[in-house]
Structure 1
Amino acid sequence: MKHSFKVLLSMKKEPGGQPLFYKTDGQRFKREKTIKLNSKCQYRMDLSFTPPRGVESVNFNGGLLEVREVTRDSTASAYSSFFHTQDFDPTKKGQRREVCVLITLKDAGDLRLTIQLKCYDKDNVQHSEWGSNFHCIEYLCEELADPSAVEVVKETFR
């Protein structure tokens, strides 16, 4: 029997929790939507799971993040972590960067999320703070019969 659950992934620029923006690129790249970041900046990434799930680890673009459980009750669980874009050079015009967020869940295996980013110079807020307001990406997921993997069934930007 497959178990389904929802994951919300949100990101904010730190310090101060400044909102991020995204743009719709259509079919020009592998993904339809691109989240805008600045190089050499710190970001907070929040993950929430409905119904609750336990997180063993979160890997962002090949680096293990320190993740802490923020809340948990009978209906949901939430986690928070930070990442830095010191190794992200500004993305060239007409290009995008795909980043893997690999979440290892207790008792469910690995959940692999791919997000498409465009990284601007640290001081280039004219372009990075333009577009649609990025609140979160909602993923509808299903545990596979193979207990070491989870499948993303649907991805929705909010």
Structure 2
Amino acid sequence: MASYAGKTVKLTFNIKRESDGIPIYFKADGQRFEQQLTIKLQRDETYRIDLTVRPAIPIEILRLQDENIGLEKISKFIDPNALSYTGVWKTAHFPLTEKNKRELIKITVVMKAMPMFSAMMQCKFYENTDAQHARWGDKLTNLEYDGVVTSDGTIVVQKQQII
């Protein structure tokens, strides 16, 4: 893994509701919580996650919290410098987030012959029937992470960006 030291990797997540293709939303929370931005999700919902990695490094595992997400390679993606995958994530086991609280969801990506990527995503879970609050804020098109492989064989996130 040390031979990858200094290499950069970009992971781009696109997350939409599986049932109707509606994108998820986020809001700026400032300094009130651990992260400045909160992603709004609904409990008992199924989300479609499209994940793109640049450079084109095969992804072996995507894990959100303790759940492995089954991925399929998207074959029609036409960027020779990237690979894209799709999978579904069900939020049935997540509790409703209390008022003035946030949940940190651990994102883990295992890539072939690369160090493991790990980051935290700050979320708030609303009831499935609470579309008013879950869809208030700004639409999240993509969640991007830029990372670099260190000399000790880990990937350090240099930038998290919501587009």
Report the TM-score range of the alignment, normalised by the length of the smaller protein: over 0.9
Q: 1:85 and 1:142 mapped to 2: Cα distance?
A: 30
Give yes or no for the alignment of 1:45 onto 2:49. Answer: yes
1:9-44 alpha-carbon deviations (Å, 9 max, x no partner): 121111121111100000000000001011001011
Aligned length: 157
Q: Which runs of 4+ in 1 moved over 4 A?
A: none
Match of 1:97 in 2: 103
Match of 1:153 in 2: 158
* Gaps in structure 2 of 5+ consecutive residues: none
In the alignment, residue 50 of structure 1 is paired with which amino acid? R
1:64-110 alpha-carbon deviations (Å, 9 max, x no partner): 11111114652111111111011112111000000001101111121
Match of 1:86 in 2: 92
Q: TM-score scaled to structure 1, two decimals? A: 0.94
1:1-158 paired onto structure 2 within 5 Å:
1-71=5-75, 73-147=79-153, 149-158=154-163
* Gaps in structure 1 of 5+ consecutive residues: none
Q: 2:119 and 2:141 mapped to 1: Cα distance?
A: 17
Instruction: Tell me the SS of whatever aligns to 1:117.
Output: strand
Query: Over the residues paired in the alignment, what is the CA RMSD in angstroms?
Result: 1.3
Q: 2:84 and 2:46 mapped to 1: Cα distance?
A: 20
Shift of 1:5: 2.2
Instruction: Tell me the SS of whatever aligns to 1:126.
Output: helix
Q: TM-score scaled to structure 2, two decimals? A: 0.91
Give the stretch that moved more between structures: 97-106 or 69-78: 69-78
Instruction: Tell me the SS of whatever aligns to 1:109.
Output: coil
Q: Percent identity?
A: 27
Q: 1:68 and 1:121 mapped to 2: Cα distance?
A: 29
Give the stretch that moved more between structures: 2-11 or 71-80: 71-80
Instruction: Tell me the SS of whatever aligns to 2:132.
Output: helix
